[in-house]
Amino acid sequence: MTDPSSSVSHLDLDESKKTFLDANELILNMGPQHPATHGVLRVILRLDGEKVMGLECVIGYLHRGVEKIAEHRTYTMFNPYVDRMDYVAAVSNGLGYCEAVEKLLNIEAPPRAKYIRVILTELNRLASHQLWLGTHALDIGAMTPLFYTFRDREEILKIFEKYCGARLTTHAFRIGGCQYETYEGFEKDVKKFLAFVAPKIDEYEELLTTNRIWVERTKNVGTISAKDCIALGVTGPVLRASGVKWDLRKAQPYAAYKEFEFEIPTGENGDTYDRYLVRMAEMRQSLRIIQQAVDGIPEGPIMAKVSKVMKPPVGEIYHSIEAPKGELGYFIVSDGSTQPYRVRVRPPSFVNLQALDLMCRGQLVADVIAVIGTLDIVLGEVDR
């Protein structure tokens, strides 16, 4: 029989742990082709067993040079391109771009156009959040919400299709207003949709909010503090879930948002569960805004006076809107010609993705999937 004390020294856990772990830091490559990365994102994980010690994102697989393309297009011609960045919230992209150019031209869209813009943008926010919820839940292992959300999102896409002929890359707005007047029965359709979707959101919540597995997988996962959010430039629902009550629709209202009553939902803990709750609450707020906009939509023209050949005066402008993912900004420099001298897009997904490293440190590998989902990135926008 060996002396127990010697065997302890032989199996000194602390000592062996140190050497064992030092020698076995594992580099795991996730993506670029991975179903849970929502596109083509490559994440290089540094693992200590199951624990994430750090990670690096490799992006750019969908880079199409949108900013360079803009320099070779006229202001009008570039408009459809912006839809291809965040392709699940194309309407928001278009709104930001059109308003930025309008600012540069020093014109304003007529009130009716602004209302139409708000209705479509909020519908799009809802669609974007629904898509986020479905895929995020699917990543974590709940398959049912995907079918529910896609079923209901279809109704929004139908309204888009009836309005402008396209479902995803809508190109709904023009510089100076809207191209299309609302179709016959548009308001009825929207109201019908509002009545239809309100109970559906409760249904999603029923599936998840108190679901034990969902709560276990999301509570205290990917926590980020308000301070870190601000330092990292993180905006949108992620920032709000960390407790910062900041929404560009309120802080610096654009379109017709000043005229509507709505609240900015915030969270407390800044974890994945809070971000889920914030987005759920945002969907309800969107419904409120749409309801008010449909009820109060004014009559009148939908297009401001814009010359066919647009030549904004020499100068530059930065304009940003609250896209479903966060602050979407356009910095446009005009040299007085028909083509922008430079268009810079400040994409929310790109900036938010930078927080992934911080949010995943110390978490498990499985949580990385949850955190990517909760950041709600669209790689088309990250890479542009």
Partner 1 sequence: MPDESKSPPPQPPDGEKPPGAERPATTGSTASAAPLPAATKPATAAPEKPAAAAATTPPKPAAPAKPAGPVPLPWASPLVDKLTRQFGTGLEALTYLGQNYLQVDRSLIPTVLQILRDEDKFDYCVDITAVHYPKRERQFDVVWILYSFAHNERVRVKTQIADGEHIPSVSSLWATANWLEREVFDMFGIQFDGHPELKRILLPDGWKGHPLRKDYGIIQQDQEWVQINLGIESGQ
Residues that bind partner 1 (CB under 8 A): 59-60, 63, 65, 67-68, 71-73, 103-104, 106, 228, 230-234, 244, 246, 251-252, 312-318, 320, 327, 329, 331, 333-337, 339, 341-342, 344, 346, 350-351, 354, 383-384
Nearer to partner 1, 73 or 191 (CB): 73
| Cβ partners under 8 Å of residue 255, min gap 6 | 95, 99, 109, 114, 117, 118, 121, 321
DSSP 129-151: HHHHHHHHHHHHT--HHHHHHHH
Per DSSP, what are the bridge partners of residue 333? 316, 342
Look up tokens 């707005």; give the residue: 173
Residue 109 CB, nearest approach to partner 1 (Å): 16
CA–CA distance, 375 with 237 (Å, rounded to integer):
9
Residue 354 CB, nearest approach to partner 1 (Å): 5
Nearer to partner 1, 56 or 202 (CB): 56
| Furthest C-alpha separation in the chain | 97
Nearer to partner 1, 180 or 246 (CB): 246
Residue 95 CB, nearest approach to partner 1 (Å): 18
Three-class SS of residue 334?
strand
Nearer to partner 1, 212 or 305 (CB): 305
Residue 261 CB, nearest approach to partner 1 (Å): 20
| Cβ partners under 8 Å of residue 138, min gap 6 | 145, 146
Rg (CA), the chain: 23
Nearer to partner 1, 165 or 336 (CB): 336
Nearer to partner 1, 182 or 334 (CB): 334
Order of all β-strands in the sheet with 315-323 = 315-323, 326-334, 340-346
Residue 82 CB, nearest approach to partner 1 (Å): 16
Residue 316 CB, nearest approach to partner 1 (Å): 7
CA–CA distance, 229 with 217 (Å, rounded to integer):
22
Nearest to 290 by CA among 153, 177, 171, 195: 195
Residue 252 CB, nearest approach to partner 1 (Å): 7
Nearer to partner 1, 107 or 364 (CB): 107
